[in-house]
Amino acid sequence: MLRLEKRKNPSRGWAIASPVVAVLATMIAGGIMFAILGSDPIEAIRTIFWDPIFNPQFASYSRPQLLVKAGPLILIAIGLAMGFRAGIWNIGAEGQYIMGAIIGGGVGLAFYPLDAWWIFPLMVICGGLGGALWALIPAILKAKFNTNEILVSLLLVYVAENILAAMSLGLLRNPEGQGFPGSRNFKSYDAAHNDFLIPSLGMHWGVVFAFVAVAVAWYVMRYHQFGFRLRVLGESARAARFAGVKPGRMVIFAFVISGLLAGLAGLFEVTGPGGQITDSFNSGYGFTAIIVAFLGRLNPLGILAGGLLLGLTYIGGELAQLMLNLPGASIQAFQGMLLFFLLATELFTNYRVRIGK
Largest Cα–Cα distance in the chain? 76
- Adjacent-strand bridge partners of 255: none
Q: What are phi and psi of 18, to 5 degrees?
A: -60, -40
Cα(93)–Cα(75) distance, integer angstroms: 11
Of 225 and 59, the one with more pLDDT = 225
Cβ proximity of 197 and 208 under 8 Å:
yes
pTM higher than 0.85, yes or no? yes
How many CB atoms within 10 Å of residue 65? Answer: 18
Task: Answer yes or no: is pLDDT of 237 > 90.
Answer: no
Q: Report the SS3 class of residue 198.
A: strand
Cα(133)–Cα(175) distance, integer angstroms: 29
Q: Average pLDDT, stretch 159-174?
A: 92
Cα(79)–Cα(23) distance, integer angstroms: 23
267: confidence class by pLDDT, cuts 50, 70, 90: very high
CA atoms within 13 A on the CB side of 124: 14
Q: How many residues does the chain have?
A: 357
When the pLDDT of each residue in the chain is averaged and rounded to a whole number, the result is: 91
117-152 per-position pLDDT tens digit: 999 999 999 999 999 999 999 999 999 999 999 999
